[in-house]
Amino acid sequence: MSVRRVMGIETEYGISVPGDPAANPMILSGHVVNAYASAHGVRSGRASWDYADEAPLRDARGFEISRALADPGQLTDVEDPTLANVVLTNGARLYVDHAHPEYSSPEVTNPRAAVTWDRAGELIMLEAVRRLQNRPGLPGVNLYKNNTDGKGASYGTHENYLMRRETPFADIVRHLVPFFVVRQVITGSGRVGIGQDSRTPGFQLSQRADFFEVEVGLETTLKRPIINTRDEPHAVADLYRRLHVIIGDANHCDVANLLKLGMTSLVLALIEDRAMTKDLTLAKPVATLHQVSHDPTLQAKVTLRDGGQMTALELLWEYHDAVAAYLDVRGLGGESDDPHTAEVMRLWGDVLHRLETDPSTCAADLDWVAKQQVLEGYRERDGLDWSDPRLRAVDIQWSDVRPEKGLFRRLADRGRMTMLVDEAAVEAAVTTPPEDTRAWFRGTCLDKWPTQIAAASWDSVIFDVPGRQALQRVPMLEPERGTKAHVGAILDRSPDVITLLRELDAAAG
């Protein structure tokens, strides 16, 4: 057991045009994607994304809903009207989703890499903003790495984890629901206002919590569930399940972001190995989710189905200790065994201890704590009540991707935030794919032969080969094949696509 598994982050960015609140967000989002794509010679339009293997209406509970009954927001296998949908040389997808520009990171195998390629998305969005500012005839836009506009709209930061198909989905639901309800004490990004429309004054831990209404379901934009049941593995379906997690916040802090992916991966490992023996089922999961988010003191008690009560921190300690015991019994988790697992466990325990004793000591590591301190500074200086609209403006400005405007970036540039990944690694990740997943093959092919890629997706690359009438699809259903170690030599010795395909056929035998 370790933290290692195939994972990734999808982030929809908030978008606005200064002085034009009525601007069409879908068209604006298309401008964002195309501004970046065209500057880098990436083809937008046509069939740049391959939808052939997507099945957004297939439910993990064993059925598939009718397209006629589905909400339009669920039909993610339909191209948006802007045709702004590209695959990047770092293996990521950049496109328009629900009227927001979305950056879906390439597949990685550990939380530190997830943080690296997620932050690369911030630089990509920043470049798009800069290019639109300098393009005649197009409006300048602002982009925000957040999850709500403070007026009732919410947009997602989704996580994806590859799991064993054999794991009963009922076990996933049973053990993950309590964990997702309480992990926000570490992973929440903080928000001004209570309720979906922020009508009630106050500050809460999570940007997303108030927008969740059911425990389990297939939706992602309406009646949002704590556990999403979409069964779309983008991998060998008999072996793998892709757990699509829609309940997370967009994190700027490296520590919070790393723990979000790392804690979840380790809890999933417990579930897969049938090693999570305690029943921590909550009496009212959705109500408790809201309750925990609305309590930045971290003192409120949550009620379990068996009548027991504990704080969110105590419940999260239960998961931490279950993972630690599992690793200890098997002699795993040390730096020599897996440094990524050791890093997650060290940070997880340290942050929980500090939250118990003095949450303010986590201001360099956790988004909600850092944001709360900044907001309290404004409140004290100017005598502001939580209902003051200036505080909502500060909340939005916190996540502005422009370093001269974004409050988080300004704090980070002053050395006030813990940065686990250095800027050089993030800048490299803007154009370079991870080497240890199929993203390496996808991104490298796009870099070498951009004009001969007709389409691509997570599990395929489709080549338009000169002299051949039919397009040539290379399937990639095993996420940990197509790596640099696996096919790097073949790509190095292939001067053209025809040679590449011949070499791949020969290697497949």
Give the β-pairing of 224-228 and 212-217: parallel
Q: CB of 68 within 8 A of CB of 86?
A: no
E-strand stretches of 354-504 = 453-457, 460-463, 472-475
Our CA dihedral for 14, 16, 22, 27, rounded to 10 degrees, sits at -80
> In 377-464, where do the E strands start and end?
453-457, 460-463
Catalytic residues: 97
Which residues, 6+ apart, have CB-to-CB distance to 151 below 8 Å? 197, 198
- Token digits for 159? 């996580």
CB 214 within 8 A of CB 172: no
Cβ neighbours of residue 130 under 8 Å, at least 6 residues apart?
none
| Residue 294 C-beta-side C-alpha neighbours within 13 Å | 18
425 phi, psi to nearest 5 deg? -65, -40
Rounded CA-CA distance 419/257 in Å is: 11
Please give the angle made by the CA atoms of 146, 121 and 500, to the nearest 5 degrees: 150
Joined together, the tokens standing for residue 163 give: 């799991």
Task: Compute the chain's Rg from CA coordinates.
Answer: 22
Cβ neighbour number for residue 290 with a 10 Å cutoff: 20
DSSP state of 75: -
Question: Cα separations (Å) of 132 from 23, 85, 275, 458?
Answer: 15, 17, 51, 28
